[in-house]
């Protein structure tokens, strides 16, 4: 019986993980705004040039993996940022820039 409980627990954790992943692609949250503000700030410091993922993560205070998910949402779901192809510094991750708000 203990083995079944372990299996059920693993399945529940897996489902929770999928739920978080799905929820991250849902509504615009405070975390999205935090990352968008960080991207805007870093891009301004670069005189309008795109910002690397690692720089945005550092400016937002969030871990790079969470920042990456939120940036992905800002690009694909909310249309507020653009991910640029290629990178001049691959160790720092992809580059992003804010789309102008009209």
- Flag whether pLDDT at 22 surpasses 60: no
Choose between 87 and 34: higher pLDDT. 34
At 24-40, the pLDDT tens digits run: 457 999 999 999 999 99
For the chain, what percent of residues have pLDDT higher than 70?
73
Question: Across the chain, what does the average pLDDT equal?
Answer: 79
Distance (Å, rounded) from C-alpha 81 to C-alpha 86? 16
CB-CB neighbours of 26 under 10 Å = 9
Region of 51 on the Ramachandran plot (φ > 0 left; ψ -120 to 50 alpha; else beta): beta
Distance (Å, rounded) from C-alpha 11 to C-alpha 5? 10
């Amino acid at each position: 019986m203990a083995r079944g409980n372990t299996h059920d627990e693993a399945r529940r954790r897996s489902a929770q993980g999928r739920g978080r992943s799905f929820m991250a692609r849902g509504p615009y949250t405070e975390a999205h705004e935090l990352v968008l503000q960080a991207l805007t700030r870093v891009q301004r410091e670069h005189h309008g040039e795109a910002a690397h993922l690692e720089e945005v993560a550092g400016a937002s205070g969030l871990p790079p993996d969470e920042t990456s998910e939120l940036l992905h949402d800002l690009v694909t779901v909310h249309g507020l940022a653009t991910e640029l192809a290629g990178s001049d510094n691959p160790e720092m991750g992809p580059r992003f820039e804010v789309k102008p708000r009209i």
